[in-house]
Amino acid sequence: MKLITRYNRVNLLTTVVVMLITGIIYYQAISLILISQLEKDLVVEENEIFDYVSLNHQLPQVFKSNDQQITFTEAEPGSVKREFINTVYRNNDNVKYAKRHHHHHDDDDEFETGRGLITSVTVGNKYYKVLVVVSTVEAEDLIKIIFGITAGVILLLFVTLYVTNRLLLNRLWQPFYDLLKELRLFNITDNKDIPLEKTNIDEFEELNQAIIGMSTRVKSDYKELKTFTENASHELLTPIAVINSKMDTLIQTDTFTQKQSKLLNDLYSAVSKLTRLNQSLLLLVKIENRLLESNEHINLKQHIEELLIQFEEIFLDKGLKVTTDLLEKEVVASTYLIDILLNNLLGNAIRHNRVGGEIRIKLTDELLTIRNTGATGALERNEIFTRFHKSSESEGSGLGLTISRQICENLNFTLNYSYQAPYHTFTVNF
Amino acid sequence: MKILIIEDEKGLRESIEEYFTEAGNICETASNYPEAMAKVNIYSYDCILLDITLPGGSGIEILKYLKKNNNSDGVLIISAKNSLDDRLEGLDLGADDYLVKPFHLSELRARVTAIIRRKTFNGSNQLIFNEINIDLLAKTAKVNDQSVKLTRKEYALLLYFIANKGKVVSKNAIAEHLWGDGMDLANNFDFIYSHIKNLRKKLIEAGSNDYIQAAYGMGYKFTS
């Protein structure tokens, strides 16, 4: 769930609840005020009746109006308890009323809600129950209007909040999204810093600073690691060189038995493997540091053809059938790196091939594909490009494809693997 | 030939010295910058093997000094630095070749021989070894004036053997010389064997002596 959705949900829900509660309280308060106003009117009327009775010793003339009705009924003395009631009464002045409130029924027997006061009066020796009723319709109309306005305000507030939240939050969070985008693009091997826009929100500024600090630290750690790899490999070169030269010297010394020469051969192989591994590590560091870049115009077709000639004997030896479909293609890159890339890819196609297998090379303006038959089924697509990942029977350093992919990355090419029986395919997209 | 080995690593220096020392060769060594400068100032050499990182100074400075004084000694840089820039810098400054550590002594020998050949023959492009006559420009070989048709690899192999005559050359060294980086492809050296077999056959058929001998399953020796 997006932050803004979550925020809006909570925010709006709270607003609605608070508004509803406010509305109810408001409604109750206004009702109370209006009713008490009506009751005051009723008491005034009651007093008028009392005054009239004490003055005239008879019941007052009753006028029926649309707002107010007074009825007198005889009753047992003392049977009437004074109280206010909610009641319904028949409105006789309905024509006038209907004109004002045309949504009401306009038949003669219309009932309206009213507030009544039951009281009693004694005229002479007769005891009367007095019912004074006033219409509450006006008051209710007022309440309705007030309530409508309130509801309108709530709705308006609701919409306003929603829209402003949306706009404001989107804008407020913009630095965050920018940062996120930059973080996604973050590449540890890249020498560029994360470009961060200045923001005047403290939290984001802090976040930016923290990210910058973190990336700098990570990069410097990584750089240190690379420097270490480079130095270690460098330091190893000299002893390897000594071993190599000592062995070359050793085999000049005397005659050797079968067993001794077998041992020496194994030593040679191991040293040579060590050398290659070491050189691959150094190479990888250099490629990652972009130390080997240069802009030469390279005729790829020509390069591949030359390489194929170089491998000719090996093709023959393994009985590999090589088919090519090469179009002219020029790339601007370092010859050294392109050679390594082609060497690695073609080398793999040979090394992991089976005797009597097939290699197909295709070069177009957009891509270079090298397909080969192989001893195994599909390879693990995600793992083959990682360092030191290799099949158990492989004699390689386990760095070839890592180097190849790094070279492609540096040149803004992409290197991908796919398998379609029986072909393993490596594709370089230019 | 007279060779100066400037290399601070004792083990490597001694191996090189031993490999190059034979009848007709003089090897001198220097293990640091002042010693090296002293020697190149006094003597003249056919080829100087120059390490770049030296105690007391940089091999590049020695190279600059040599070139400033129009010294005609051949210079082969042997360096642990396998970066294109270093290589180019060395060659731009007038080094004749650049070899990256670690290397096989036979490879070093072949490179040094090539440098000296270029220096001393001065335009002549004939390399003669007993009855074998090699035209270095045309890259062809003749035995007793009878031309031998060699493939590119066989020709390279023949030159390599002649440069390392009398030495046992390991199969690894041969493979790396012929195929360079692509070499980690071949764990079995069968196809080296077939190249050597073919070369040997062609030379013998043309009337040459049988110079190429297998050496205890480890490598080959070109006897003289």
For residue range B3-62, list pLDDT tens digits in order: 999 999 999 999 999 999 887 789 999 999 999 999 999 988 999 999 988 898 888 889
Identify the CA nearest to B163 among candidates B219, B103, B107, B104: B107
Cross-strand partners of B222: B212
Q: Is the peptide bond before A175 cis (omega within 30 degrees of 0)?
A: no
CB–CB contact A245 B16 (8 Å): yes
- Band the pLDDT of A99: cuts 50, 70, 90: very low
Q: Is the peptide bond before B102 cis (omega within 30 degrees of 0)?
A: yes
- Band the pLDDT of B85: cuts 50, 70, 90: low
Give Dmax over CA atoms of chain A in angstroms.
Answer: 158
What does the alpha-carbon distance between residue B106 and residue B167 come to, in Å, rounded to a whole number?
A: 8
What confidence score (pLDDT) does residue A106 get? 45
Cross-strand partners of A367: A429
Arithmetic mean of pLDDT over chain A: 82
What confidence score (pLDDT) does residue B184 get? 61
What confidence score (pLDDT) does residue B161 get? 92
- Select the residue of A255, A311, A336 nearest B182 (Cβ to Cβ): A311
Give the Cβ contact number of residue A236 at 10 Å. Answer: 18
Who's near B74: CB < 8 A, 6+ residues apart?
A: B45, B46, B47, B48, B96, B112, B115, B116, B118, B119
Q: A251 in contact with B at a CB cutoff of 8 Å?
A: yes
What confidence score (pLDDT) does residue A211 get? 87
Q: A244 in contact with B at a CB cutoff of 8 Å?
A: yes
Contact list in A for residue B194 (CB cut-off 8 A) is 313, 317
CB–CB contact B168 A252 (8 Å): yes
Could you tell me the two tokens for A78? 């003392």
The DSSP result for A219-259, as a single string, is HHHHHHHHHHHHHHHHHHHHHHHHHHHHHHHHHHHS---HH
Q: Give the tens place of pLDDT for each residue, A309-320.
A: 888 878 887 888
What does the alpha-carbon distance between residue A114 and residue A86 come to, in Å, rounded to a whole number?
A: 6
Cα within 13 Å of Cα(A281), Cβ side: 20
Conformation bin of residue B139: beta by default, left when phi > 0, alpha when psi is -120 to 50: left
Judge whether B110 and B177 are in contact, CB under 8 Å: yes
What confidence score (pLDDT) does residue A215 get? 87
- Select the residue of A251, A316, A334 nearest B218 (Cβ to Cβ): A251
Judge whether B176 and B187 are in contact, CB under 8 Å: no
> What's the gap in Å between the CA of A242 and the closest CA on chain B?
5
What does the alpha-carbon distance between residue A153 and residue A202 come to, in Å, rounded to a whole number?
A: 34
- Select the residue of A241, A286, A310 nearest B83 (Cβ to Cβ): A286
What confidence score (pLDDT) does residue A400 get? 85
What does the alpha-carbon distance between residue A20 and residue A60 come to, in Å, rounded to a whole number?
A: 47
Judge whether A132 and A67 are in contact, CB under 8 Å: no
What does the alpha-carbon distance between residue A348 and residue A287 come to, in Å, rounded to a whole number?
A: 20
Residue type at A148 in one-letter notation:
G
What does the alpha-carbon distance between residue B118 and residue B14 come to, in Å, rounded to a whole number?
A: 26
Overall size of chain A counted in residues:
430
Q: A336 in contact with B at a CB cutoff of 8 Å?
A: yes
Q: Kindly calculate the radius of gyration of chain B based on its CA atoms and give it in whole angstroms.
A: 18
CB–CB contact A255 B18 (8 Å): no
Candidates A237, A242, A246, A248: best to mutate against B (most CBs of B within 10 A) is A248
Q: Give the tens place of pLDDT for each residue, A170-204.
A: 888 888 888 888 888 887 767 677 777 778 888 88
Q: Is the pLDDT of residue B74 over 50?
A: yes
Could you tell me the two tokens for A41? 């009117």
Question: Which chain B residue lies closest to A263 (C-alpha atoms)?
Answer: B218
What does the alpha-carbon distance between residue B162 and residue B139 come to, in Å, rounded to a whole number?
A: 14
Who's near A122: CB < 8 A, 6+ residues apart?
A: A53, A77, A128
- Select the residue of A238, A256, A283 nearest B9 (Cβ to Cβ): A238
Residue type at A238 in one-letter notation:
T
What does the alpha-carbon distance between residue A319 and residue A356 come to, in Å, rounded to a whole number?
A: 5
Who's near A194: CB < 8 A, 6+ residues apart?
A: A182, A183, A186, A211, A212, A215
> What's the gap in Å between the CA of B122 and the closest CA on chain A?
31
What confidence score (pLDDT) does residue A103 get? 47
Q: A273 in contact with B at a CB cutoff of 8 Å?
A: yes
- Band the pLDDT of A290: cuts 50, 70, 90: confident
Count interface pairs A-B at CB distance under 8 A. Answer: 127
Identify the CA nearest to A291 among candidates A191, A430, A404: A191
CB–CB contact A276 B102 (8 Å): no
Q: What is the mean pLDDT of residues B155-174?
A: 89
Cα within 13 Å of Cα(A427), Cβ side: 13
CB–CB contact B83 A251 (8 Å): no
Stated pTM of the model: 0.66
Q: What is the mean pLDDT of residues B191-202?
A: 86
What confidence score (pLDDT) does residue B82 get? 63
Among residues 40-59 of chain A, which lie with CB inside 8 Å of chain B?
A: none
Contact list in A for residue B106 (CB cut-off 8 A) is 248
What confidence score (pLDDT) does residue A107 get? 47
- Band the pLDDT of A88: cuts 50, 70, 90: confident
Three state DSSP letters for A377-419:
CCCCCCCCCCCCCCCCCCCCCCCHHHHHHHHHHHCCCEEEEEE
Cα within 13 Å of Cα(A241), Cβ side: 28
Identify the CA nearest to A251 among candidates A262, A239, A236, A235: A262
Q: Which of A231-240, A383-392, B45-54 has the lowest mean pLDDT?
A: A383-392
Who's near A56: CB < 8 A, 6+ residues apart?
A: none
Q: What is the mean pLDDT of residues A142-157?
A: 83
Question: Which chain A residue lies closest to B192 (C-alpha atoms)?
Answer: A313
Reduced to 3 states (helix: H, G, I; strand: E, B; else coil), residue A290 is: coil
